[in-house]
Structure 1
Amino acid sequence: MREIISISAIIIAFFYFLAFGSAVFMALENEMHWVLAFFAMAWIIILRLWPLLPVLAVVGAVNIWGWVWYDGVALALPVSIYVVSHYWTRITDYLRRPTQKQGV
């Protein structure tokens, strides 16, 4: 039974990220040529501009696919939770870091 749940979770996650990625790509492709959209998506990932991904997913779902705004937000919510928790962890780790002593 656990194997069935694990495999179904993997399948659901695959289709979710397929929909999320295509919404992001279509939002970029609506504004520029598809080749430039591909390079823009690659640069967003390389430069770690993670907050842009949920925003572009909402724009793609609402403006391109014609979804209502709350469906677009529901599409972007899981990645948004990851992005917010990632930056929260980085900021709090930076603030709790002990000060470095200068010199030897």
Structure 2
Amino acid sequence: MILIIETVKELMETLMKEIQALEEELKKQDSVQEVKKQLEIINQELESFNLYLVKRKTDKLRKDIRWFTKERAYPYLSDRYYANQQQNVPDRQF
């Protein structure tokens, strides 16, 4: 009878150890899943920020292209053209 009780105690101890090991493994898996979720959120935020930066850069390039074409193709529309024209006017002598 005592032998049966001791074997049952040993079995209970081994089962408790296995249960604790399984619980720790589940906690690790849960933490891994939480980290994966956080990484996905960070990745989405980075993608949206990258899209924002690309949009800003393209807007700046678009403005630069407009300025360049305005200066080169239609110089009389620019303020610099009029400033240069006023500077290049010779003094009239009577």
Same fold by TM-score, threshold 0.5 exceeded? no
User: Greater CA radius of gyration, 1 or 2?
Assistant: 2
TM range (shorter): 0.3 to 0.5
Return the TM-score normalized by structure 1. 0.31
* More helix by percentage: 2
